[in-house]
Structure 1
Amino acid sequence: MHSTLLSLAAIAGTVTAFPAQPEQRAAAAGVQFVGVNVAGFDFGCSIQGACDLTKIVPPIQGAALGSADGAGQMQHFVKDDGMNIFRLPVGWQYLVNNKVGGTLDSNNFQKYDQLVQSCLKTGAYCMLDVHNYARWNGQIIGQGGPSNSQFTNLWSQLASKYGSSEKVIFGIMNEPHDVPDIDKWADTVQEAVTAIRAVAKSNMIALPGNDWTSAQAMPTKSGPALLKVKNPDGSTDNLIIDVHKYLDSDNSGTHTECVTDNISSAFQPLATWLKQNNRKALLSETGGGNTDSCKKYLCQQLDFINKNSDVFLGYIGWSAGSFQANTYELSEVPTKNGNSWADSSLVKACLVRKSS
């Protein structure tokens, strides 16, 4: 989301919850993937790609910096709600301990790997997400900031660690924005794909565009450039268009009320474009407050995506993980009582796949 830099401040926010309205529940999922983000390793990362490592709150029990039960959350979402994908945001600086172009830091990576392994143990697909907005400390990758080779070195290492698991999805970059040259950015994405494919031959790779990976902007702005990105063999197999879309008044994902279902403005045009180009997309971030308006509009949006599962692989809500369930504005954090978990009202209304 656009306001990840405010993660710690957002924990102290307020949210108004309303009873779930059964008639607002999204239709039975026709898409392959439904899940949530499990945030925490991205806390402290700003939209300028600067990450304050003291603000990280790992969603792993017993961690030195936090004790959110990310493993338990994911187990619940799979067992009780029928979910089958989780996106695991992490700051680039955290993975390499602030050394651009460096090797994975053994201590930090071991903690992140705990979350990845907990995800894989559920049987779900696990999407790695470098949450840096196409930047390192304010400088754009391949366009005045870190070189493409420094960035692809990171992905070579991650692909070497996880390429043997077909259920790991490589999310190249979270929400690039204000990137001056989309063609140069597509070149950066291409180099990342080539580096990943050197060791991970068939895993899904999510390709991010500019404009915060906006689903609305993709067909006309970033999409034409990203269509040029190919596997080394010239195919586009398992190269997925990565998109985000929120439903509040300014598409920032910072308000508890929703005002649109995004269908006519974003997802219908995107579906048409995907069909025309024989491509598929994954909505890896979407969500809203636990409010009546968001239950209404999010369920409508997801119904449309389900009905167009020929081009949409699925959707991943924002967010569970280390946020506080009762105070974060867009909380999808389940709460535990004894041996059972209770979902947020928005998750109950629109994201749960199993009937209770």
Structure 2
Amino acid sequence: MFTFLLTTLAVAGRALAAPVAERADGVQFIGTNIAGFDFGCSIQGACNLTQATPPLSSLGGPDGAGQMQHFVKDDGMNMFRLPVGWQYLINNKLGGTLDSGNLGRYDQLVQACLATGAYCIVDIHNYARWNGQIIGQGGPTNDQFVNLWTQIATKYASQSKMVFGVMNEPHDVPDINKWADTVQAVVTAIRGAGAKNQMILLPGNDWTSAAAMPTKSGPALLKVKNPDGSTDGLIFDVHKYLDSDNSGTHTECVTDNISGAFQPLATWLRTNKRQALNSETGGGNTASCQKYLCAQIQFLNQNTDVFLGYTGWSAGAFNPQTYELSEVPAKNGNSWTDTSLVKACIKKQ
């Protein structure tokens, strides 16, 4: 996520071979990010593991498990994105095996998510990089990245509600066709590891911008296929913030992104018979963000043949008193109170 670093429905497998019909109650998935295991990771893909903050009270952090239980029970959410640093999972040993201790801690969050009945996105939060070097283009090899995903997919292959988010917000990647080859290698590996039907989120360049996808990354990523040649379960991963510079660093919002991003993207998706998920969006707990985010979400709800849903940024381990885009609910005894933005726009109405 750009901001921080400047400091059951059958949706898997064959069900996604063609666009689904629009549902009266909107998109199939709504939810939020449960951040913390990604803390300390910069936009250059360098991660300071000492800054990772597990959003789990059992590990001394905030009660992310309780947050998810509340979001499902009280708000009707059914999807959570769980960011984590690549370095964290393998304890800084590029090409190595998943670190049992760190993986065990991250898996506690995954299991807490799955226990709610929601879909759970594993999000590698490294911006297509390892310590400043781009995957498959002068940095880590595709094989090293594939090794990571093969291990993750093997661990969660039996979990039908796991979703594999290949990479958070690639940016300034020189060759989009080579990046598409990297994504293809990961898709092939995930399917080969036994995760045959789970959704895989395909990330483009330009910070995974919804506006840029149709003309910049999308044409290259269209060639990414499952081993059987289908595109079942391969979903375009897009992000879009609503502030003045699209960074997600301001508490005020200035656009609903419809004409500039989501309408053109919807047209492109329909033309290519594909679907997308907005896995990061959000704003401050302000009147302007309520206005524009609610309008953006309404557009997604009106175009459910091509948009599967959205997860807001962010709950989890953020400090709600200091973080501009906090979606962290406040706990009082056994009850939770949502932020004004979640209550107005993200909570299932």
What's the TM-score once normalised by structure 1's chain length? 0.92
Provide the residue aligned with 1:81 in structure 2: 75
Provide the residue aligned with 2:245 in structure 1: 250
Structure 1 CA distance for aligned equivalents of residues 43 and 184 of structure 2? 23
Provide the residue aligned with 1:208 in structure 2: 203
The amino acid across from 2:295 in the alignment is Q
Provide the residue aligned with 1:21 in structure 2: none
Equivalent positions of 1:126-275 (< 5 A) are 126-198=120-192, 199-275=194-270
User: Shift in Å at residue 4 of structure 1?
Assistant: 3.0
Structure 2 CA distance for aligned equivalents of residues 169 and 4 of structure 1? 23
Structure 2 CA distance for aligned equivalents of residues 277 and 239 of structure 1? 13
Structure 2 CA distance for aligned equivalents of residues 118 and 151 of structure 1? 26
* Aligned with 1:54 (options 38, 46, 50): 50
Provide the residue aligned with 2:324 in structure 1: 329
* Aligned with 2:90 (options 88, 93, 96): 96
Asked if structure 2 preserves the Cα contact closer than 8 Å seen for 1:152 and 1:192, the reply is: yes
Structure 2 CA distance for aligned equivalents of residues 91 and 134 of structure 1? 11
> Is 1:36–2:32 an aligned residue pair?
yes
Structure 2 CA distance for aligned equivalents of residues 143 and 240 of structure 1? 24
Structure 2 CA distance for aligned equivalents of residues 300 and 4 of structure 1? 24
Structure 1 CA distance for aligned equivalents of residues 174 and 322 of structure 2? 37
Structure 1 CA distance for aligned equivalents of residues 286 and 299 of structure 2? 20
User: Shift in Å at residue 323 of structure 1?
Assistant: 0.4
Structure 1 CA distance for aligned equivalents of residues 241 and 157 of structure 2? 31
Structure 1 CA distance for aligned equivalents of residues 198 and 131 of structure 2? 29
The amino acid across from 2:282 in the alignment is G
Provide the residue aligned with 2:13 in structure 1: none
User: Shift in Å at residue 29 of structure 1?
Assistant: 4.4
Provide the residue aligned with 1:23 in structure 2: none
Bigger drift between 319-328 and 128-137 goes to: 319-328
The amino acid across from 2:45 in the alignment is G
The amino acid across from 2:98 in the alignment is L
User: Shift in Å at residue 28 of structure 1?
Assistant: 7.8
Unaligned runs of 5+ in 2: 8-22
User: Shift in Å at residue 326 of structure 1?
Assistant: 2.2
Q: What SS is found at the alignment partner of 1:178?
A: coil
Instruction: Count the aligned residue pairs.
Output: 333
Provide the residue aligned with 2:3 in structure 1: 3
User: Shift in Å at residue 276 of structure 1?
Assistant: 0.1
Q: What SS is found at the alignment partner of 1:222?
A: helix
Structure 2 CA distance for aligned equivalents of residues 174 and 291 of structure 1? 26
The amino acid across from 1:257 in the alignment is E
User: Shift in Å at residue 324 of structure 1?
Assistant: 1.0
Structure 2 CA distance for aligned equivalents of residues 79 and 28 of structure 1? 21
Structure 1 CA distance for aligned equivalents of residues 3 and 151 of structure 2? 28
Asked if structure 2 preserves the Cα contact closer than 8 Å seen for 1:3 and 1:47, the reply is: no
Structure 1 CA distance for aligned equivalents of residues 105 and 99 of structure 2? 10
> Is 1:314–2:309 an aligned residue pair?
yes
> Is 1:344–2:339 an aligned residue pair?
yes
> Is 1:298–2:298 an aligned residue pair?
no
Identity %: 76
Structure 1 CA distance for aligned equivalents of residues 163 and 298 of structure 2? 24
The amino acid across from 1:242 in the alignment is D
Provide the residue aligned with 1:105 in structure 2: 99
User: Shift in Å at residue 327 of structure 1?
Assistant: 1.9
User: Shift in Å at residue 62 of structure 1?
Assistant: 2.8
For 1:24-73, what per-residue CA distance to the aligned partner results, in whole angstroms no more than 9, with x for missing partners? xxx9841000000000000000000000001000001131xx41101000
Unaligned runs of 5+ in 1: 10-26
